[in-house]
Amino acid sequence: MTALIEIERLSKRFGAFVAVDQVSFQVAKGEVLGFLGPNGAGKSTTMRMLAGFMAPTSGTARICGHDVQDSPVQAKRNLGYLPEGAPTYPEMTVEGFLAFCARVRGYDGRALARRVEGAIALAQLEGVRLQPVETLSKGFKRRVGLAQALLHDPPVLVLDEPTDGLDPNQKHEVRELIRRMAPEKAIVISTHILEEVSAICTRAIIIARGRVVADDTPAGLAARGASLDAVFRGLTLGDAA
């Protein structure tokens, strides 16, 4: 097993506040890592540093062996990233937006059309392809963001709350999609929903106040207490007390 994501003692300080404190982990091909934690625990900050958007105060991250600080463009080429809140350009159509992402990624002509088609099919956006993104519901916007992350079939996927705002059917679809892609990729998803972790993740990391407090399989975590819920509360609240 080769680690496609390597995070080494990653830290981020905002003034005196330590948002992420010496976080280290690796994710290998075939793994789906659930990144759990209460709001403000440092999940999004860690993912932003991994995606090369935020510069770490210390430590580093590598994607497919490329350091996100030293060779950011190569690292980003191997990464599909869904930022928190799935931001998209509101005035663009779904197709136009995906074509823009494909063009930045170096596709053109028929290859570009094929990539856009593929992403639209994967995220089930056929019905809204010519609509401006601003006219879409929250669930569709999230799927546009997801389509953008999957467009180039990257070996590494980092998805910040991919199922937030989706209805139960769409959640199920997205989980199925992640499960189908899992054998070929290294995937990190952050979530608040604990059942999601038992449903699709092969491994879970719980982070609280910027530190990793647990790194185990979902079954292993659940076995530590009465339920996954109870274990999560115990780890994250116990730390705060």
Total residues at the site for other proteins (CB under 8 A)? 31
Residue 88 found at the interface with other proteins (CB under 8 A): yes
Four-point Cα dihedral 44, 48, 51, 55, nearest 10: -150
Smallest distance from other proteins to CB 92, Å: 7
Residue 96 found at the interface with other proteins (CB under 8 A): yes
Q: Give the x/- contact pattern for other proteins in 51-80, rule: CB under 8 A.
A: xxxx-----------------xxx-xx-x-
Strand (E) or helix (H) holding 174: helix 168-181
Write the CA distances from 164 to 6, 138, 145, integer angstroms.
26, 9, 12
- Closest C-alpha among 181, 200, 180, 240 to residue 35: 200
Q: Out of 85, 118, 225, 234, which residue is the one contacting other proteins (CB under 8 A)?
A: 85
Residue 220 found at the interface with other proteins (CB under 8 A): no
- Closest C-alpha among 188, 175, 153, 150 to residue 5: 188
Strand (E) or helix (H) holding 163: none
* Token couple for 148: 């953008």
Q: Give the x/- contact pattern for other proteins in 118-157, rule: CB under 8 A.
A: --------------x------------x--x---------
Quote the CA–CA distance of 179 and 196 in Å, as a whole number.
Answer: 11
Q: Out of 58, 104, 121, 184, which residue is the one contacting other proteins (CB under 8 A)?
A: 104
Quote the CA–CA distance of 42 and 208 in Å, as a whole number.
Answer: 7
Q: Out of 90, 127, 183, 220, which residue is the one contacting other proteins (CB under 8 A)?
A: 90
Residue 94 found at the interface with other proteins (CB under 8 A): no
Select 38 or 145, whichever has its Cβ closest to other proteins. Answer: 145
Residues that bind other proteins (CB under 8 A): 48, 51-54, 72-74, 76-77, 79, 81, 83-85, 87-92, 96, 100-101, 103-106, 132, 145, 148
